[in-house]
Structures are given as structure tokens and as C-alpha cells.
Amino acid sequence: MIGIFDSGVGGMTVARAIEKNLPGRRLVYFGDLARTPYGSKSARTIRKYALENSEFLLQKGAEIIVIACNSAASVASGMLRDKLPVPVFEVVTPAVRQVVSMGSRGRIGIIGTRATIKSQIYEDKIKKLRPDFQVFGQPCPLLVPLVEEGWLNKRETKMIIRRYLHSLKLKNIDTLVLGCTHYPLLKKLIQSRIGRQIRVIDSSRAIAAELAVFLQKHPNLVKILSSAGENEYYVSDVTEAAQATAERIFGRRINLQLRQGKDNA
């Protein structure tokens, strides 16, 4: 079973991409809605939550962990790889590999939460592979709440996107990374604002593609990955907005189950 966690329902963009790339594999998802957002929290707190979320997924039978939250991937992936007894994947590295593997003039924009941009994870990873590239980060803290409110095509959302992307436009970037799980839902608006000629990389799709390749190369792991049974979607709080966002992402009814634990026993 593939265990996926995020700070909320945004990581379902990753779950959906994995579902498409790996049909028939069983998924268990956990969205930490009671403690979202992670993007404005300290690295220490995000690491603590990431470990708790992973332990929950392991209890549910996860044989692989996917960190489907850029903020958690930015600050907690090393720690989780050290502590967990299963392979750990995260959304940042595959997106970085896409950035460097496709033709680029080396002017890269990254948009994400404050935690992701502050960690400079994308910049560090890109520069390790391509020291000649220039990377420009732009935190976009208002976009997550707009997605959660379902304001996907409102005038206000367009205005805020325009404001956030303005400095990246001035930097004359040729590639833009959507470094947050919620942003794929705004991809059309972002693409039209930044310009059709700019390559937009969706970190959710990048991880799904990389996981599929990894499993092809590790048939032994595929044998033990259980696939029987329904996918399960757990959250630490159930709200109507989350239910609506989940259904918007999957395009079907999703049964959000409340995780039973100390915070909601």
C-alpha cells in the first residue's frame, strides 16, 4: 500500500496523479486538516507533524511513504528517511529533476508557501545539479486559502496571482515550478498570467511519474505492495470545504474518514 500525507486535502492532487500513473495500486491518504496550514509553521513543528503522520500511515499498512506536501518535504524528508523503515518519496526532488532535464535558459521561478521558499530547498537542489542556473523564489501565502475556498476563477484570485507573479515576470524566467500541492488547481490561471511560452512544472505530476519508474525498477517491492481493497482517505478534521475540495480534485465522491487519535478521540 502506498501511504501519502499532506497538511490537508491539497496533497490529493498528488494522490490523484499517482492513481492515474499507477492504476490498481492501493493508496492510503492522510490529510492533517486539524493542523493545516503547515506553510506558515516553523520547521521544528512541521517535522514533528510529518513524523506523526508517517507513523499513522505505517500503522495503516503503508509500505512506501510519499510526502505530498512541499512544506513538509522541504524540511522533514531527511529526518523521515533516517527514521522510517520504508522508502520515502517526496514532491520536491522529481520536480527538480524535470527542471534540469528539459531545455531551459536557466532562469527558474519557484512559487510555494513561506516555509518552502524560506527553506530554499528548490534552489539548493537545482544549483547542486546546475550551478549555472538562477533560481527565484516567490512565497504565495494567499493562494492556499483561495483554493480551499474554491475561488479558482474569481477576479480577486486573478489579481493576487498577477501580484505574486509580477516580480518573476520581471526576472524573465523561462520555467516556473508549482511548488505547492494546491497550485495545480490554479494552473490555468497561473499559466495564462506568466505567459504561454513559460514552462510550468507541476510537482504533483512529477512525483507520480518518478514513483512509477521506481516501481518498474523494483519488481520485488511491487510484489509486496498490496493492491487489494479500496483506497482510504483519512483526515484529522472533517469540514465541508475540505470535502468539496477533495471532490473537486478527484472529480468524484470521496469518503473522508476521521482519524481516531489523541486530538479527536
Question: Least distance (Å) from ligand DGL to the CB of residue 71?
Answer: 4
Task: Indicate if 69 belongs to the active site.
Answer: yes
Candidates 2-10, 125-133, 156-164, 170-178 — which segment interacts with ligand DGL by CB under 6 A?
Answer: 2-10
| Rounded distance between C-alpha atoms, residue 89 and residue 80, angstroms | 10
**180 binds ligand DGL per the rule CB under 6 A:** yes
Task: Indicate if 140 belongs to the active site.
Answer: no
**70 binds ligand DGL per the rule CB under 6 A:** yes
Judged by beta carbon, residue 70 or residue 175, the one nearer ligand DGL is 70
| 23 CB burial (10 A radius; 0-12, 13-18, 19+) | exposed
**DSSP assignment, residue 259?**
P
Amino acid type, 188: K
Neighbouring CB atoms inside 10 A of 216's CB total 9
Judged by beta carbon, residue 67 or residue 189, the one nearer ligand DGL is 67
- The one catalytic residue in 180, 185, 198, 206 is 180
* 9-48 footprint of ligand DGL as x/- string (CB under 6 A): -xx------------------------xxxx---------
Question: Looking up cell 486530538, which residue turns up?
Answer: 263
CA–chain centroid gap for 111, Å, is 12
Judged by beta carbon, residue 209 or residue 221, the one nearer ligand DGL is 209
> Given its phi and psi angles, is residue 84 left (phi above 0), alpha (psi -120 to 50 degrees) or beta?
beta
For residue 175, give the C-alpha cell: 520555467
| Rounded distance between C-alpha atoms, residue 93 and residue 90, angstroms | 7
Q: Kindly list the catalytic residues.
A: 69, 180
Q: Site residues (CB under 6 A) for ligand DGL?
A: 6-8, 10-11, 36-39, 69-71, 112-113, 116, 144, 180-182
